[in-house]
Structure 1
């Protein structure tokens, strides 16, 4: 196995079991490992520190896997990590109210670059690192043995794969092709999931707990669900007795699927309007027309993919939330989210404070939203805590 030598003084993060080693921390590579090959990371004196995936095209040159030199990182190692991750989610699915969740969450489950989502009897994977790409056959085999899925679909269409020297892909890996709409349940609500054409792996199961909680505030209220996608917050609000719900998303496919989901659940007795539009433009239109709401959900895409984009993203978050606050009736609720890992909660609170000042509003933070337990945060990898949100009362 090829040795990768750390520069002197760069051991601290490795000793603390952070899974990333950046290229600038490497002194020397003793050989020419292929991208995705498992290497030995050693300190400046040549002493073993960890095993990890190597990639010379990525800023993260080594993604660490195992810190015990006596433990072989082989097929059995990968199978064991998959088994542990799947077993840790079993209770989420046990009630029968939910049959979709995240089974494997990358570094948090010690499999850096692997996302695996369960949609009823189908699995969708995202493979984001060359090391996981090499290990994929044994991972697929283990998932088949554990779960016997009807299909395993590869939704590795993220542009970030280019940083690892990988091309994007969208293809069937095992089983028979999934239907155009896979029917799943979350919190007792039925959704049609388009795995092949949907965003990410097909559905955002990271908002499961937050959808249920926010819906408890929706009874008798006029709700606006922005960046609604296929209707997670919309459907929960309709079930809990909202007076009306307006959903806004720029994707025609998302709006079409949302309307189908409303029909699937027989939620047609409540006023619902679905608008295909750019959210920022639509919010300004609502303001011009004098529309007001009691509950507003703002769940935008990732504005800050990296720390270098944080200033620009902060301005975008502030502008979005400023207009959202202006559209609320006095004492109304704003549920606002950021899925940008680079945006920490304290910065997010500051952005909302600025938005409140610009909007001429008073704001209370009454609840902090988080990602659910199937998206765990590893103690040595705080970067895994990407989803954050605040429930705000606005006057």
Structure 2
């Protein structure tokens, strides 16, 4: 694309970008107001006009675009995207060969040098997520590159760049033959019903794959499990498959009831031995305390930000208090799986929330194990914010 715009990086940020930082920040650029068109190719230079990197302009919640190349002569064209995506697919070769998992991510944004874009694989179906109008301007290059590199049943897309942060509803089909939904995919031998044609969320969050497997294989047997903010009940399903005597799934969304029943039935599990509650998690905690309910395992995976009629939840501000609620209904020696996808704080800070919560509850605890993103969610050390997932298994000691 022509009409490149040269952006001058402020002195204190020059080494940051030279060292590989990929996100274009407003505070880092002197003349960002000179570019207004989404998808414009931008050259980053220092105050002596020396080339640093090139990328594209595209507003999203994280910043104002992404670095794509550190080669001044490299063209951002069809071949560029083919090469990037070819390397990304090769990196996930073992996933394509897995006999018991056929749902995973094949392009993870800046981790694969393509900030603002993710692509996921669901048993022959590919789903492209566009996070800015800027990256969407390259859609023909990217879709054609995908067509060149893989065999597919169909390609779907999600445009996730509305300025209000809401998903833009429209036909998501791109190429191939339209799917008959749900399609059934496998994760570590467990089945999930996936819908690529129903809004932004398709039915399962793939980044929790290793956590779900660990719950099934090492923790669930014989346990009474509470799964909060349960969405479609994926953690509950894995717990039940792992031998949990009972699971309780709680989520505020009305759709969670039928979606969770669907996932249980797909795996041949008895619905009658599971509780599925549509309601506010915070109200459920109060109900559990009143009824003196106790759980052997409690899964705490809230959104990083959520709003209900009565309150606003922010993981950074409110996770500690949420954890205190969880501690109050967890059995002695029970396990709390504390999880957050907030990129606004790191694992050290997250563990400080855990420590504060237990101290304020006058409880002891043991950190048993921890997880971050799985291999297919590739990250780079120069952008630690990209490794957003933090999961800690905590034993609630007397």
TM-score past 0.5 threshold: yes
For residues 146 and 202 of structure 1, do their structure 2 counterparts lie closer, same or farther at Cα, with a shift above 3 Å needed?
farther
RMSD across aligned C-alpha pairs, in angstroms? 2.6
- The residue aligned with 1:212 is 213
- The residue aligned with 2:76 is 73
Number of residues of Structure 1 aligned to a counterpart in Structure 2: 388
Range with bigger deviation, 94-103 or 29-38 = 29-38
For 1:101-250, list aligned pairs within 5 A: 101-157=104-160, 159=162, 161=163, 168-170=168-170, 171-197=172-198, 199-215=200-216, 216-250=218-252
Note the C-alpha offset of 1:56.
Answer: 7.5
For residues 262 and 29 of structure 1, do their structure 2 counterparts lie closer, same or farther at Cα, with a shift above 3 Å needed?
closer
Is residue 351 from structure 1 mapped to residue 326 from structure 2 by the alignment?
Answer: no
Note the C-alpha offset of 1:31.
Answer: 6.5
For residues 15 and 225 of structure 1, do their structure 2 counterparts lie closer, same or farther at Cα, with a shift above 3 Å needed?
same
- The residue aligned with 1:12 is 15
Note the C-alpha offset of 1:217.
Answer: 0.8
Of 318, 321, 328, the match for 2:320: 318
Partners of 1:81 and 1:110 within 8 A in 2? yes
Is residue 341 from structure 1 mapped to residue 343 from structure 2 by the alignment?
Answer: yes
For residues 32 and 228 of structure 1, do their structure 2 counterparts lie closer, same or farther at Cα, with a shift above 3 Å needed?
closer
Q: Distance in 2 between matches of 1:56 and 1:122?
A: 28
| CA shift digits 1:29-61 (9 cap, x unpaired) | 797563211122111111111111024898734
For residues 135 and 352 of structure 1, do their structure 2 counterparts lie closer, same or farther at Cα, with a shift above 3 Å needed?
same
Range with bigger deviation, 238-247 or 125-134 = 125-134
Q: Distance in 2 between matches of 1:180 and 1:393?
A: 40
Q: TM-score, normalised by structure 1?
A: 0.91
Of 332, 353, 373, the match for 2:375: 373
Note the C-alpha offset of 1:312.
Answer: 5.2
Q: Distance in 2 between matches of 1:217 and 1:75?
A: 47
Partners of 1:151 and 1:173 within 8 A in 2? yes
Q: Distance in 1 between matches of 2:233 and 2:329?
A: 21
Q: TM-score, normalised by structure 2?
A: 0.90
Q: Distance in 2 between matches of 1:343 and 1:237?
A: 28
Structure 2 portions without partners, runs of 5+: 307-312
Q: Distance in 2 between matches of 1:250 and 1:212?
A: 25
SS in structure 1 opposite 2:24?
A: strand
- The residue aligned with 1:260 is 262
Note the C-alpha offset of 1:157.
Answer: 3.5
Q: Distance in 1 between matches of 2:56 and 2:141?
A: 16
SS in structure 1 opposite 2:37?
A: coil
Partners of 1:23 and 1:59 within 8 A in 2? no
Q: Distance in 1 between matches of 2:273 and 2:393?
A: 24
Q: Distance in 2 between matches of 1:157 and 1:66?
A: 24
Q: Distance in 2 between matches of 1:57 and 1:389?
A: 26
SS in structure 2 opposite 1:72?
A: coil
Q: Distance in 2 between matches of 1:56 and 1:332?
A: 44
Note the C-alpha offset of 1:24.
Answer: 2.9
Note the C-alpha offset of 1:365.
Answer: 0.9
Q: Distance in 2 between matches of 1:292 and 1:31?
A: 59
- The residue aligned with 1:388 is 390
Note the C-alpha offset of 1:298.
Answer: 0.6
